[in-house]
Every structure is written in structure tokens, then in C-alpha cells.
């Protein structure tokens, strides 16, 4: 459970973290601009490469290369470019094509919907049950703050569906279908959202499943299949990365009452203990959009993500200073705890408790 | 014609679907910039050909814009887009060359004076070397040449001579017959910008009368005063062009009025960049919402988001604590202090987060 820090400790924690943020902010410049431009160039190269290779996919190795190239392009665009740009990490560059409020990314979810549900709701109310709708995406039960229901037994199926169709799930997140089902809101309240959703979703489907296949008509089944695979790779990878960020075994949850009138220090505390990192090579970090450094990202959402790697040791040291757990581990280990959590909380509380008691 | 426009529009539509952006042409810029930076579509690229010294603190930059640039009329200016330390900056400069230079060799000249303490003018002097590619905007501004041969008076100060240079070269080429007088205010003779051009014009073009006043060398009488205007024959019939620092502009305007010259005879172009407020300026000030055409007085205790809401505006927001950037918006003028970092912004146009920005002196935001 959350370590109890005094208000004075919380204020000091905020001061320590603010100092890191101010230092990095003051140092932003050429190096960061060059980094993101290089990544963007890589994205364009992979996207063009993937689109060009795909029609020659009747040669099996070329098919694999085309799918890999387009899949990687989508991953890089969503994770390291889109997600980070929309957080305002590069607003200081004053480049209109990297502006947080107008960027539109290569996925079904509209930029505007993402800015509302993710940047605002998820990053402000991180892991607050009932307020952070990213917590379990309203289809998974991941803590006993939510009452168990027999349907939860099947939640592993929900999980598989969510991860396979992740871009559509994220795109529909703002619909708040669970609240519509509970009759708290009406479908008609979401007219504006649905219109945008169909426009953007249609645009994405048109591009990958109609336009490029038709353009290469004689080989259209190959191009269609390749594009489906590329989207699937991106869906699996990005959902897995995101799940490892907040749903690992020890990532904490919070109640609405606990954040009433909270101080900046307490907000920081929530970000530190509600997130989890995973380790890996430089490319694992880049392909995850540096969400492998979810803790650093949650503490400093608008600092260019490639800096997280550099400041991680200092954030870890601050955690130790205040006796907080710095939740990290290998990708495999963290993912395993996510799967375990999904499995455990699908069971009735009594069975789960027994299992947990046995395990310790 | 119609059909090419239709193809263009449908290609644009398709580009938007495929690349998720309003300017689909710029999607490939990161690759084009490597192949040939003059091919980028995001802005009009221009290659710097030559840098020459005008005076100790002024240099001319001769540029060759890409063929996409639409040209200019004498007296117009452009925004130049430069990247320093990873940050993109826009600054306005007059095209100091005549349109004829553009017609004959496809180049234009910007004449840039170091602005004391200024970020980009000094950077341009220190870092821009021939071969560099910069971005430029299309030309704009309406400091227009007279259509008929009417008598003219130019009053210019310092680097304010730049549009006048372009005008005078164009008028001389046109063999303009009516009298033209230029009163040019500089600190010393060495500060005369475009000296070679000015003196050459004065000697070969009889319509031009040139007076250079050197305020530091000649003392008090060299500052613009009534006697300078007395020397201009037929003053009241002249069409007047003013260009220079604000102090000179204001003074010239007052004097001209006292000589009975009406506002519609006077054309002005302002050069002055906004200057930073002193660091000890108290928080609060007049906040102008440019798009809604509203101004309110704000105390120093509220961020712009609350000030805007109190004025019945509905800006977008999310967390109200500086995390989500939902409230990001353009500030066009003035200084704000960031509540989280305690740091003051610059005085010019930039993006700020309304929920954590407190005005320090008068501020204009694009809301
Ligand atoms: C129509 C026009 C034509 C000009 N032509 C010339 C010319 O031919 N030669 C010449 O030497 N100078 C010219 N100037 C002045 C020139 O634009 C300024 O000296 C220059 O922008 C100063 O930039 P800086 O970065 O050195 O100054 P800084 O002090 O760093 O800039 C001050 C701040 O003001 C903002 N700012 C700067 N310029 C402007 C502006 N024009 N409008 C709004 N905000 C601004 C910036 O964002 C910055 O934050 C012209 C100005 C105008 C408006
Ligand atoms: S409202 Fe979230 S940053 Fe201003």
C-alpha cells in the first residue's frame, strides 16, 4: 500500500522532482530537435518502404519485410512521435507539424479524443478507480475496488479482443459504453464524438483496406493481408506496452476521496507509485515511445521522451530517498505480472485470496 | 483550368486521407530535406547566396527563393523562418531590393540590422553563411508605390530605409518625373545603410533630393524638426512615406499634421519589435483577447484561463494544473509568468498554457 508521507515530505518530493524538470527544460535544444527529426525521417522511410514492398509480397521474404516495415512505421509513429508530440513534448520547437493541439496520428482514435481521454483524464487522475477510465479500459477488472461479477470469469477473452483490436478500442474509448449501458448517459449525448470517430476510423480503414489494395489491384489480397498484419503488430505491441505501464502486480490504485484537494506532491506520489517501467535495449525504449519509462513519463509528461532514459537514475534515487517502490523489471517479467493480475481478478475474491495465500 | 483545379483539390483530399494532415504535401519533407532541401513543401525554401556588410551593425543577405515564391511589390516585407537551437523563429524583414532584381536574376535582398539584445537578428549575423537554406513567407504589406507621378516625401530612420531603397530604385527605373525628397536620419555617416545605392541614385536621377541627417555627429539640429520640413518645396501637396523607429514616426506624424498634411496623405510602416518588460514588473495587467475583441484588467493572482472564463470566453482546458496542454494557445504579444517554473516568457508570439500563465503587464492572446 501507499507509503504514508507527511505533507512536508510531499512538498520536498515535489521540490526534488521540479528541480529535475526545470534543469531538463532549460537544456532543451538542438539535440532534442535533431532526435525527433531523425525519428520522423525513419518513420517516413519505413512507411514508404513498407508500401512499396507490399505489392511484391507474393515473394514470401518480401512479404515479411513489407509487413515488418509498415508495422514498425506505425509503431514508431504512434508511440514515439504521435503520443509524445500530442503531450506537448515538442511544442517549444514552434514547428507547426509538431504541435500538440493539432497533431493527428496514424490510428483510429482522433487526436482530439486522445487529448481529452489520455492527456487530461488519464494523466490527471492516474489509477484513480472510477475517474481514470484507462484503468482496465472499462472491460477488465484489475483491483478489488470493483465488485466481482461472474462475467469477469471471461475477462481473459476480453483482454485478447482488446489487444487484437486495440486501435478500435482506443478509438471508441471516449464513447463510455459502460456508462451508456448503465443508462447514466444516452447514446445521443455522444453524437459529436461518433461523427468524428466514423470520419477518422473510415479514413484509416479506407487507406489500409481499400486504397492501397485497389492501387495494386492484381495483387490486392496480398496487400490487404499485409496491411492487416501491420496493423495487428502495432495493436499487439502498443497494448502490451501500455498494460505494462499501469497494470503490473504492484502498480497502486487510488480512491476518489484520496485525491480531493491534493497537493502537487501527492500528485507526484501517485504518478510514481501508480506506474511501472520495464528494462530493455535502446530500441525497445524507442519502439515503446519510451513508455518503458512510464514512471518518468507520468512524472514529466511534457518532457521529450528520449530524455527519460537519462533522468531515470535520478528519479529512482528520489524514490529510494522517500522509501517508495520504483517498480521496474524485465519486459517479460512485467508482462507476466500483468497476465497474472488479469487472471487473478477474474476469479471470485474468495478463490483469489486462497490462491494468493498459497503463493506466499 | 477548372479541371486542373479539380484534380488538385481531389489530390489534396486524398493526401489528407492518407497522411492525416491538412498539408499533405509536407508529409515527405523529412525525406526531401535530405535529398534536396529546396524541394520541401512545408514552407517556401530560399538559398542564401551572399552576405555583405552595409555598416558595422547591418548586413545584407541575398537569397534565391524557390520558384514557388510568388514575388513581391516594392515596399513589401516577408517573414523569414529560421531555426536556432531547435526552436523555429519567424521574423519580419523588408525586401530591400527592387522587384527588377527578382525579375532579372531571381534573387532578393534582406538588409538586417542587429537589434540590441535581440535574439534572431544577432543570430543571423553570427550564424548565417552562404549555402544555408532558410524558409520565407509570401510577401505582404501595403507600403505601395504611387500610381501616378505625384510629388513624394520619404522620412526614414535607421534600418527603416529598407522599403525606401526598394521604392527609390523602382521609381528611378520607371523614370519617375515628379519631385522626390528623402530625409534620412542616422547616427553617424558610417551608419548609412545602402549608401552606395542612395548616392548613385541622387547623382543620376534628377528628381531625387537626398538629405542625410547624422544625429550624433551634427548634434541637436540634426534631429527631425520643422526646419527640415521647411526645406521641402511644395510640402503640402506631397504624398508622404514614413518608416523608422516609433519615436521618429510619432514625431514626424505630429509635425506633418501641424504643416496641414492630412492622414490619408501619409503611409507608415512600423518596424519596432516589442520589447521585454522589466523583470520587476508587477503581475497583472490588461489582457486582450484578440479574436473576441475583448480587453479586461487582471489582477496578478489569476492565470489567463480564469481571466478568460471570467470574461465569458470558453477556452479548451483539461487538468487546469499544467499537465495536459489542452489549454495551449497562441500569445501574440506581452509577457507571462509560468506558475510552475516561475519563469517569464519572451515578449513576442509563442504558444503558452493558459492555466499556468499569469500576465506580467499587458498581454494579447489569440482567443
Ligand atoms: C514590417 C516590418 C519590416 C521590417 N523590416 C526590417 C528590415 O528590413 N531590416 C531590419 O533590420 N529590421 C526590420 N524590421 C524589424 C525586425 O523585424 C526586428 O528588428 C527583429 O524582428 C528583431 O528580432 P530579434 O530576434 O533580433 O529581437 P528580439 O528582441 O529577440 O525579438 C523580440 C521579441 O519580439 C518578437 N518580435 C520580433 N520582431 C517582431 C515583429 N516584427 N512583430 C512581432 N513580434 C516580433 C519576437 O517574437 C521576440 O520575442 C522590420 C519589422 C517590421 C514589423
Ligand atoms: S488545462 Fe491542462 S495544461 Fe492547462
The DSSP string of B16-82 is HHHH-SS-GGGGGHHHHHHH-GGG-SSSEEEEEEEEEEEETTEEEEEEEE-TT-----TT-EEEEEE
Q: Is the pLDDT score of A298 beyond 90?
A: yes
Please tell me the predicted confidence (pLDDT) of residue B274: 59
Of B34, B199, B257, B203, the closest CA to residue B133 belongs to: B34
Chain B contacts to A (CB-CB under 8 A) = 14, 17-18, 20-21, 23, 26-31, 34, 42, 83, 85-89, 318-319, 321, 323-326, 328, 340-341, 350-351
Interface pTM, i.e. ipTM: 0.86
Per the prediction, chain A carries an average pLDDT of 93
Ligand 1, atom 4, residue with closest C-alpha: B93
Q: Which residues of B touch A45 (CB under 8 A)?
A: 31
Q: Which residues of B touch A104 (CB under 8 A)?
A: 20-21
Of A292, A166, A176, the closest CA to residue A232 belongs to: A166
Is the beta carbon of B282 within 6 A of some atom in ligand 2? no
Least CB-CB distance to B85: which of A29, A41, A211?
Answer: A29
pLDDT tens for residues B84-134?
Answer: 999 998 888 999 999 999 999 999 999 999 988 888 999 999 999 999 999
Least CB-CB distance to A33: which of B14, B31, B86?
Answer: B86
pLDDT tens for residues A162-188?
Answer: 999 999 999 998 888 888 888 888 888
pLDDT tens for residues A310-331?
Answer: 999 999 999 999 999 999 999 9
Q: How far apart are alpha carbons A66 and A74 in whole angstroms?
A: 12
Least CB-CB distance to B323: which of A28, A93, A123?
Answer: A123
For chain A, the three-class secondary structure string (H helix, E strand, C coil) is CCCCCCHHHHHHHHHHHHHHHHHHHHHCCHHHHHHHHHHHHHHHHHHHHHHHHHHHCCCHHHHHHHHHHHHHHHHHHHHHHHHHHHCCCCHHHCCHHHCCCCCCCCCCCCHHHHHHHHHHHHHHCCCECCCCCCHHHHCCCCCCCCCCCHHHHHHHHHHHHHHHCHHHHHHHHHHCHHHHHCCCCCHHHHHHHHHHHHHHHHHHHHHHHHHHHHHCHHHHHHHHHHHHHHHHHHHHHHHHHHHHHHCCCCCCCECCHHHCCCCHHHHHHHHHHHCCCCECCHHHHHHCCCHHHHHHHHHCCCCCHHHHHHHHHHHHHHHHHCCCCCCCCEHHHHHHHHHHHHHHCCCCHHHHHHHHHHHC
Q: What is the dihedral of CA B280, B283, B285, B288, to 10 degrees?
A: 110
Domains annotated for chain B, with CATH where assigned, are 2-136 (2.40.30.10), 152-268 (3.40.50.80), 284-365 (3.10.20.30)
Name which of A17, A28, A42, A101 to mutate to probe chain B: the one with the most chain B Cβ atoms within 10 A of its Cβ.
A101
Please give the number of the atom of ligand 2 that sits closest to the Cα of B320.
1
Please tell me the predicted confidence (pLDDT) of residue B3: 62
Is the CB of A123 less than 8 angstroms away from the CB of B319? yes
CA of residue A227 relative to chain centroid, distance: 22
Q: Is the pLDDT score of B298 beyond 60?
A: yes
Chain B residue with Cα closest to A86: B325
Among all ligands shown, which has an atom nearest to the Cα of B78?
A: 1
Q: Is the pLDDT score of A353 beyond 70?
A: yes
Mean pLDDT to the nearest integer, A32-36:
97
Please tell me the predicted confidence (pLDDT) of residue A1: 46
CA of B356 to the centre of ligand 2 (A): 8
Is the CB of A30 less than 8 angstroms away from the CB of B30? no
B205 falls in which pLDDT band (50, 70, 90)? very high
A345 falls in which pLDDT band (50, 70, 90)? very high
Q: Is the pLDDT score of B6 beyond 80?
A: no
pLDDT tens for residues B174-184?
Answer: 999 999 999 99
Mean pLDDT to the nearest integer, B47-73:
96
Least CB-CB distance to B18: which of A34, A97, A207?
Answer: A207
A2 falls in which pLDDT band (50, 70, 90)? low
Q: How far apart are alpha carbons B71 and B266 in whole angstroms?
A: 25
Name which of A20, A49, A91 to mutate to probe chain B: the one with the most chain B Cβ atoms within 10 A of its Cβ.
A91
Q: Is the pLDDT score of B2 beyond 60?
A: no
B269 falls in which pLDDT band (50, 70, 90)? confident
B150 falls in which pLDDT band (50, 70, 90)? very high
Proportion of chain A above pLDDT 90, given as a percent? 77
Q: Is the pLDDT score of A302 beyond 60?
A: yes
Is the beta carbon of B317 within 6 A of some atom in ligand 2? yes
Alpha helices (H) along chain B: 2-19, 29-35, 99-105, 119-127, 162-173, 195-204, 215-218, 226-230, 246-258, 304-310
Please tell me the predicted confidence (pLDDT) of residue B275: 66
Enter the C-alpha cell of residue A71: 508495422
Q: How far apart are alpha carbons A313 and A329 in whole angstroms?
A: 14
Mean pLDDT to the nearest integer, A68-91:
96
Is the beta carbon of B75 within 6 A of some atom in ligand 1? no
Please give the number of the atom of ligand 2 that sits closest to the Cα of B316.
1
Q: How far apart are alpha carbons B219 and B226 in whole angstroms?
A: 16
Please tell me the predicted confidence (pLDDT) of residue B138: 93
Mutate to test the pocket of ligand 1, among B348, B349, B350, B352 (most ligand atoms within 8 A of CB): B348
Ligand 1, atom 44, residue with closest C-alpha: B348
* Choice among A106-115, A205-214, B17-26 with the minimum mean pLDDT: B17-26
Most confident option among A240-254, B5-19, B49-63, B275-289? B49-63
Give burial (CB, 10 Å; 0-12/13-18/19+) of B256. Answer: buried
Mean pLDDT to the nearest integer, A110-135:
90
Is the CB of B20 less than 8 angstroms away from the CB of A123? no
Q: How far apart are alpha carbons B200 and B334 in whole angstroms?
A: 42
Is the beta carbon of B322 within 6 A of some atom in ligand 2? yes
Please tell me the predicted confidence (pLDDT) of residue A3: 54
Ligand 1, atom 45, residue with closest C-alpha: B273
Amino acid at each position: 500500500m501507499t507509503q504514508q508521507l507527511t505533507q512536508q515530505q510531499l512538498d520536498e518530493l515535489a521540490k526534488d522532482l521540479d528541480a529535475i524538470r526545470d534543469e531538463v527544460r532549460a537544456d532543451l535544444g538542438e539535440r532534442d530537435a535533431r532526435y525527433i527529426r531523425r525519428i520522423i525521417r525513419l518513420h517516413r522511410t519505413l512507411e514508404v518502404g513498407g508500401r512499396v514492398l507490399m505489392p511484391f509480397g507474393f515473394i514470401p521474404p518480401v512479404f515479411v519485410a513489407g509487413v515488418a516495415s509498415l508495422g514498425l512505421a506505425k509503431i514508431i509513429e504512434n508511440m514515439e512521435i504521435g503520443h509524445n508530440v500530442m503531450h506537448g513534448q515538442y511544442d517549444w520547437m514552434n514547428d507547426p507539424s509538431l504541435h500538440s493541439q493539432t497533431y493527428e496520428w496514424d490510428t483510429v482514435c482522433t487526436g482530439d479524443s486522445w487529448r481529452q481521454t489520455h492527456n487530461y483524464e488519464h494523466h490527471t487522475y492516474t489509477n484513480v478507480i472510477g475517474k481514470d477510465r484507462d484503468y482496465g479500459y472499462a472491460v477488465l477488472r484489475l483491483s478489488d475496488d470493483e465488485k466481482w461479477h461472474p462475467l469477469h470469469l471471461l475477462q481473459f477473452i476480453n483482454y485478447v479482443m482488446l489487444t487484437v483490436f486495440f486501435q478500435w478500442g482506443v478509438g471508441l474509448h471516449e464513447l463510455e459504453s459502460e456508462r451508456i449501458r448503465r443508462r447514466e448517459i444516452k447514446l445521443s449525448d455522444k453524437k459529436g464524438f461518433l461523427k468524428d470517430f466514423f470520419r477518422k476510423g473510415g479514413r484509416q480503414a479506407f487507406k489500409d483496406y481499400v486504397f492501397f489494395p485497389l492501387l495494386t489491384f492484381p495483387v490486392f489480397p496480398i496487400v490487404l493481408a499485409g496491411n492487416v498484419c501491420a496493423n495487428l503488430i502495432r495493436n499487439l505491441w502498443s497494448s502490451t506496452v501500455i498494460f505494462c505501464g499501469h497494470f503490473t502486480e504492484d502498480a497502486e490504485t487510488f480512491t476518489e476521496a484520496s485525491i480531493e484537494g491534493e497537493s502537487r506532491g501527492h500528485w507526484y506520489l501517485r504518478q510514481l507509485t501508480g506506474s511501472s517501467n520495464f528494462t530493455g535495449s535502446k530500441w525497445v525504449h524507442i519502439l515503446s515511445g519510451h513508455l518503458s519509462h512510464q514512471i518518468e513519463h507520468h512524472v514529466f509528461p511534457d518532457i521529450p521522451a528520449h530524455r527519460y532514459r537519462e533522468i531515470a537514475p535520478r528519479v529512482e534515487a528520489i524514490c529510494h530517498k522517500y522509501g517508495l517502490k520504483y517498480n521496474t523489471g524485465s519486459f517479460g517479467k512485467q508482462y507476466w505480472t500483468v497476465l497474472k493480475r488479469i487472471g487473478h481478478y477474474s476469479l471470485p475474491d474468495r478463490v483469489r485470496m486462497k490462491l494468493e495465500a498459497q503463493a506466499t | 483550368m477548372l479541371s486542373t483545379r479539380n484534380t488538385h483539390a481531389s489530390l489534396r483530399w486524398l493526401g489528407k486521407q492518407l497522411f492525416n494532415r491538412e498539408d499533405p504535401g509536407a508529409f515527405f519533407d523529412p525525406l526531401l530535406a535530405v535529398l534536396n532541401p529546396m524541394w520541401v513543401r512545408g514552407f517556401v525554401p530560399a538559398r542564401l547566396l551572399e552576405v555583405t556588410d552595409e555598416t558595422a551593425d547591418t548586413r545584407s543577405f541575398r537569397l534565391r527563393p524557390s520558384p514557388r515564391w510568388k514575388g513581391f511589390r516594392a515596399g513589401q516585407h516577408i517573414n523569414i523562418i529560421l531555426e536556432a537551437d531547435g526552436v523555429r523563429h519567424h521574423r519580419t524583414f523588408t525586401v530591400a531590393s527592387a522587384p527588377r532584381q527578382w525579375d532579372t536574376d531571381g534573387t532578393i535582398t534582406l538588409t538586417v540590422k542587429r537589434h540590441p539584445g535581440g535574439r534572431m537578428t544577432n543570430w543571423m549575423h553570427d550564424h548565417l553563411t552562404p549555402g544555408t537554406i532558410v524558409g520565407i513567407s509570401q510577401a505582404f504589406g501595403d507600403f505601395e508605390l504611387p500610381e501616378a507621378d505625384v510629388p513624394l516625401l520619404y522620412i526614414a530612420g535607421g534600418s527603416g530605409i529598407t522599403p525606401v531603397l526598394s521604392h527609390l530604385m523602382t521609381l528611378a527605373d520607371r523614370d519617375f518625373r515628379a519631385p522626390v525628397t528623402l530625409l534620412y536620419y542616422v547616427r553617424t555617416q558610417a551608419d548609412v545603410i545602402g549608401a552606395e545605392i542612395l548616392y548613385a541614385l541622387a547623382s543620376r536621377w534628377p528628381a531625387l533630393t537626398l538629405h542625410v541627417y547624422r544625429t550624433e555627429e551634427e548634434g541637436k539640429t540634426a534631429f527631425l524638426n520643422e526646419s527640415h520640413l521647411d526645406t521641402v518645396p511644395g510640402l503640402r501637396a506631397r504624398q508622404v512615406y514614413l518608416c523608422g523607429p516609433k519615436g521618429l514616426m510619432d514625431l514626424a506624424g505630429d509635425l506633418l499634421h501641424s504643416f496641414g498634411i492630412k492622414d490619408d496623405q501619409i503611409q507608415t510602416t512600423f518596424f519596432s519589435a516589442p520589447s521585454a518588460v522589466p523583470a520587476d514588473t508587477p503581475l497583472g495587467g490588461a489582457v486582450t483577447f484578440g479574436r473576441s475583441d475583448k480587453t479586461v484588467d487582471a489582477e496578478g493572482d489569476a492565470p489567463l484561463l480564469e481571466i478568460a472564463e471570467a470574461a465569458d470566453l470558453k477556452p479548451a482546458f483539461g487538468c487546469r494544473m499544467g499537465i495536459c496542454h489542452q489549454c495551449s494557445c497562441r500569445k501574440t504579444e506581452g509577457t507571462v509568468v509560468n506558475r510552475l517554473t516561475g519563469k517569464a516568457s519572451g515578449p513576442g508570439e509563442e504558444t503558452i498554457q493558459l492555466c499556468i500563465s499569469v500576465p506580467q503587464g499587458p498581454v494579447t492572446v489569440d482567443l
